[in-house]
Amino acid sequence: MSTWTEVDDYFARLFPDDPALDAAHASSSETTLPGADVTPHQGALLAILTRAIGARRVLEFGTLAGYSTIWLARAVGPTGHVDTLELDAGNAAIARVNFDAAGVADRVEVHLGAAADTADRLISEGVEPYDLVFIDADKPSNPLYLAASLRLTRPGGLIIVDNVVRGGAVADPDDTTAAVECVRSLVDDIVAAGLEATAIQTVGDKGWDGFAVIRVPD
C-alpha cells in the first residue's frame, strides 16, 4: 500500500516546475521553524480558494520563508495585495529574497512585529477589509488571531487556520498540551459565535493535520 508521501509525490505532477517556489520551500530550513511551511498541495489549495472567491486582498499571520505567501500573492494577481505578519527579522529577510525571486515583491508587504499587535494596528487604522485571511503563526494565539480576523475580513470572506488536527490529538481528551488546547479554544469560539465553518483533514509529507475554513457572515 502506498504511503502518504508517495501519494503526495504522485499528485505533485499536477504542478509545473517552479524554481522560485522550490527555493522558498527549501529555505524554510533557515528559519526559526524549519519545515513548518505548508506542503505544495496545501499551497495550491490556498491559491485555488483565493482565486475561487476572487480575492484581491489577503492577510497572512506567519510568514517564515514566504512559501505560502508566494502562493497567495500569485493568486491575487498583479493588482492584488498581501499583508503578511512576521515576528522574526531573520525570517522576514529570507522571505523578502524569495518574494523577489518569485516576482511578487511588489504586491507583498511584510509587517515585522508581534502579529496580534500588528493586527490591532490594522484595525485601528481602518484598513480596507481583506477577502481572505490565512492564520499560520504561533498556535496559542489562534483565538486572538481569529477575533482580529473577524474584524478585518469582509462579509462573505474566508478565514483559514492551519494545523488544527495535530495528528488527531484534538480528539484525545488526555492531551492537554498548549498546541492542542488552543485548537479547542478556537473551535469553541467558532461554535459560540455561530460561524459557518468546517475542518479539512490532510495527510501527506507533514503527516496528519488539516485546515479550519471559516466563512465570515454577510
Tens digits of per-residue pLDDT, 176-213? Answer: 999 899 999 999 999 999 999 999 999 998 899 999 99
Q: Which CATH number goes with the domain that contains 30?
A: 3.40.50.150
CA atoms within 13 A on the CB side of 191: 7
By DSSP bridging, strand 207-215 and strand 153-162 are antiparallel
**pLDDT at residue 205, rounded to an integer:** 86
Q: Which amino acid is at 74?
A: R
pLDDT at 133 over 90: yes
Determine how many CB atoms are found less than 10 A away from the CB of residue 8: 18
State the DSSP H helix or E strand holding residue 196, giving kind and residue range, or none if neither.
strand 196-204
**pLDDT at residue 192, rounded to an integer:** 96
Residues 56 and 82 sit within 8 Å (Cβ to Cβ):
no
Q: What is the mean pLDDT of residues 139-168?
A: 97
Range of the domain at 195: 4-215
Q: What is d(CA 64, CA 30) in angstroms, rounded to the nearest whole number?
A: 9
For 54-86, write each residue's pLDDT tens digit.
999 999 999 999 999 999 999 999 999 999 999
- What is the percent of the chain with per-residue pLDDT over 90, rounded to a whole number? 96
pTM beyond 0.95: the answer is: yes
**pLDDT at residue 1, rounded to an integer:** 58
Number of domains in the chain: 1
Residues 75 and 47 sit within 8 Å (Cβ to Cβ):
yes
